[in-house]
Amino acid sequence: MKDFERYSQYNFQFHSSIVPPLVQQILKDNELKENTYLIDIGCGDGVLLLAIVKNGYLSGDKIVGFDISKTRLKKLKKSHPNINIVQGDACNLFIFKPHSFNIPISSQVIEHIHNQDAFLSGIYSLLRPCSYFYISSVIKGRNAFWIYRNNGQIVLDPTHVHEFKSKDEFVSLLEKYGFLPITIQTYPVKFGLMDCIIRSLIIIGLKIENAEFFFINHKWPSFINKIKIPVPGYFIIEGIFRRS
């Protein structure tokens, strides 16, 4: 997408205190907490990083939020000034010294990447040997359908350039770059009803103050948001991998 900053302004992320179980597993299993340095590659608005800090897993000074969007990084810095931010392209992670981090995470990013070779090679370089890496993406089944299109293809998000066809394709790609699978899981993509309603209102021009924090500031919509809308044929895939 050419105007990525404009896209970042309306395609914000709702904040919550939820840390994915697999990310929790990495953080809890890490024995050298005082020497833990985490980077979120493609952190967006910093939803996951803020949840990690809020739940007491790590302090902000041990965390780097890395994203291509100035708009999103400004939102993250405003929400938590202690978290370090670095703007850059996920295909150029060699700006960091090798072995700088022992917990890289990348949630729903690789499907946006044109150059997967540079992306995964860069992560391998910055990750300390025998450390763990969390990554998630999407699988598009044969009967997948959604409202967005990119280059004439159905996509879950208008900025997706590659959606995996199977679990095997996803795992094989990570193995190719030296990442050993530890835990892999998949589950259907479902969007909350209230989430969809609010996004639709914003897209048509309605202004909602601090929309990112809507579910934190207003508890009752959270109950409505438990009603989930399944996306036909789409699945989330996430995994813990270890660097060889």
Query: Nearest CA to 241 among 92, 120, 88, 65?
Result: 120
Three-state DSSP state, 241:
strand
CA 111 to chain centre: 10
Summarize pLDDT for 159-188 with one digit per residue, the tens: 899 999 999 999 999 999 999 999 999 999
* Prediction pTM value: 0.86
Lowest-confidence region among 107-121, 199-213, 219-233: 199-213
Residue 2: is its pLDDT beyond 50?
no
Q: Pull the structure tokens for residue 11.
A: 């395609």
Give the confidence band of 71 by pLDDT, cuts at 50, 70, 90.
Answer: confident
pLDDT of 186: 97
**Mean pLDDT for the stretch of residues 106-115:** 95
The DSSP secondary-structure symbol of 164 reads B
* Cα gap 135→157, rounded to integer Å: 18
Helix axes 116-126, 167-176, angle to 10 degrees: 60
* Cα gap 241→215, rounded to integer Å: 32
pLDDT of 217: 57
CB contact at 8 A, 130 and 242: yes
* Cα gap 179→186, rounded to integer Å: 18
Bridge partner residues of 104 (DSSP): 39
| Percent of the chain topping pLDDT 70 | 81
CB contact at 8 A, 69 and 97: no
Residue 24: is its pLDDT beyond 90?
yes
How many residues does the structure list for the chain? 244
* Cα gap 42→188, rounded to integer Å: 22
Top CATH class of 4-145+159-190+234-243 equals alpha beta
**What Å distances lie between residue 220 and 94, 197, 215, 216, 217, CA to CA?**
45, 14, 8, 10, 9
Handedness of CA 4, 66, 119, 168 (dihedral sign): negative
